[in-house]
């Protein structure tokens, strides 16, 4: 039992079982021992690798997607380019480098990075020290971002937002909680009574006994807040993450990852990443509730291919072979072909990962949706 596990156990002993959402919040964001507050989790030396760390092509294409949306909406100025959970700042650095193709865009934007981790903020400041546009940091997405057109990127951000789990029993839908076993160790347990007021969304039915349903009310609330700003001020949001669309069924997707391998969710809170699959249909519904329009989701492989990642990989391979200074970072794999395969092949990231766009209802259709 590590230090954070001990503190959580004492909290449960004093007040009773806690929700999985509360456990996730403590495990990931506790100021003293939380996962994101204390480490750089990315890349080979961390616990997992995200698309921007695999290849510069990912951030370049997402940056150009934002530029195209900005252009299609009449080049609004001033505007803001926002990233949620920007990791090491790699995606934004690549996006801004690609955006140099449109100097007017860079002259019109302020970059805002929404980052709760002091450790990662320090890394981002070093990565973006030569940014071609002004950069500022916020610890949360709030009304300070509601005064201008909002162009927003969120890659593998929504999957780490807290969820609650419910299990269908012969008593009804009971919430799955985190409690203590007879030895005082963290353990899952079901609430003894059905959750008052719990209802499934309209697109879900036919759940068998023992079925899991995961609710991410915080993710939906954030998507609606983003949509409200975009509907009122203009802009575009692109959410890329792993999850499911309208085909969503019932199942448990909460997972822990440590040292590039799966770990027990309750084993070492604060020492492993926690995440769950995104319900893209719920995010699209939230966008509509916010007055905007949702597009997608489309599979990442299809999306990146439609944006031109294959010819970009061919050019990048030529640049890498010649040692050209036009290259950005070489990514987790130094060869463009290997990077391409990891990003778009169905058995790697191409199918599980998906993209969802949020746009003003009267704006032109976003690129490649």
- What residues does 235 pair with on adjacent strands? 150
Among 122-131, 211-220, 257-266, 339-348, which is the least confidently predicted range?
257-266
For residue 147, give every residue at least 6 positions away whose Cβ sits within 8 Å of its Cβ, in sequence order, or none.
233
Neighbours of 264 (CB within 10 A): 11
Domain ranges of the chain: 38-161+215-245+273-360
Report the CATH architecture of 38-161+215-245+273-360.
3-Layer(aba) Sandwich (3.40)
The Cα 331–Cα 327 span in angstroms is 11
pLDDT at 164 over 80: yes
Question: H/E element holding 294?
Answer: strand 292-299
3-state secondary structure at position 138: strand
Per-residue confidence (pLDDT) for residue 43, from 0 to 100: 56
pLDDT > 90 in the chain, percent: 81
Asked if 178 and 25 count as a contact pair (C-beta separation under 8 A), the reply is no
The two three-digit tokens of residue 297, written as one number: 């989701």
Sign of CA dihedral 329, 125, 122, 266: negative
Please compute the mean of the pLDDT values over residues 267-294 and round it to a whole number. 95
For residue 311, give every residue at least 6 positions away whose Cβ sits within 8 Å of its Cβ, in sequence order, or none.
none
Confidence of residue 250 (pLDDT cuts 50, 70, 90): confident
pLDDT in tens, 65-109: 999 999 999 999 999 999 999 999 999 999 999 999 999 999 999
DSSP state of 174: E
- The reply to whether the predicted model has a pTM over 0.85 is yes
Confidence of residue 48 (pLDDT cuts 50, 70, 90): confident
3-state secondary structure at position 26: helix
The Cα 366–Cα 369 span in angstroms is 6
pLDDT in tens, 292-319: 999 999 999 999 999 999 999 999 888 8
Per-residue confidence (pLDDT) for residue 41, from 0 to 100: 65
Q: Write the CA distances from 229 to 148, 162, 226, integer angstroms.
A: 8, 23, 5
The Cα 352–Cα 243 span in angstroms is 6
Per-residue confidence (pLDDT) for residue 276, from 0 to 100: 96
What does the mean pLDDT of the chain come to? 92
């Amino acid at each position: 039992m590590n230090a954070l596990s001990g503190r959580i156990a004492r909290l449960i002993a004093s007040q009773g079982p806690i929700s999985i959402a509360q456990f996730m919040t403590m495990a990931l964001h506790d100021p003293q021992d939380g996962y994101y507050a204390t480490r750089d989790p990315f890349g080979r030396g961390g616990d997992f690798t995200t698309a921007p760390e695999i290849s510069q092509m990912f951030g370049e294409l997402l940056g150009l997607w934002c530029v195209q949306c900005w252009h299609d909406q009449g080049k609004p100025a001033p505007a803001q380019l926002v990233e949620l959970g920007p990791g090491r700042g790699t995606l934004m650095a690549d996006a801004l480098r690609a955006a140099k193709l449109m100097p007017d865009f860079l002259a019109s934007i302020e970059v805002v990075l929404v980052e709760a981790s002091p450790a990662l903020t320090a890394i981002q400041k070093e990565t973006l020290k030569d940014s071609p546009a002004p950069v500022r940091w916020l610890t949360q997405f709030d009304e300070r971002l509601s005064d201008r057109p909002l162009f927003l990127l969120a890659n593998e951000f929504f999957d780490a937002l807290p969820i609650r789990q419910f299990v269908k029993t012969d008593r009804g839908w009971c919430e799955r909680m985190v409690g203590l076993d007879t030895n005082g160790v963290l353990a899952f347990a079901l609430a003894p009574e059905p959750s008052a007021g719990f209802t499934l969304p309209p697109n879900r039915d036919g759940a068998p006994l023992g079925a899991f349903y995961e609710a991410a009310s915080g993710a939906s609330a954030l998507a609606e807040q983003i949509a409200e700003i975009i509907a009122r001020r203009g802009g575009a949001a692109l959410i890329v993450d792993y999850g499911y669309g309208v085909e969503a069924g019932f199942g448990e997707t909460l997972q822990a990852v440590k040292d590039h391998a799966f770990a027990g969710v309750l084993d070492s809170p604060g020492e492993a990443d926690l995440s769950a699959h995104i319900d893209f249909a719920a995010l699209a519904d939230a966008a509509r509730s916010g007055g905007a329009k949702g597009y997608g989701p489309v599979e990442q492989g299809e999306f990146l291919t439609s944006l031109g990642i294959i010819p970009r990989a061919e050019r990048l391979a030529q640049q890498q072979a010649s040692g050209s200074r036009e290259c950005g970072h070489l990514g987790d794999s130094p060869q463009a072909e290997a990077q391409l395969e990891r990003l778009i092949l169905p058995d790697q990231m191409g199918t599980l990962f998906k993209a969802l766009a949020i746009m003003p209802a009267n704006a032109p259709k976003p690129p490649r949706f």
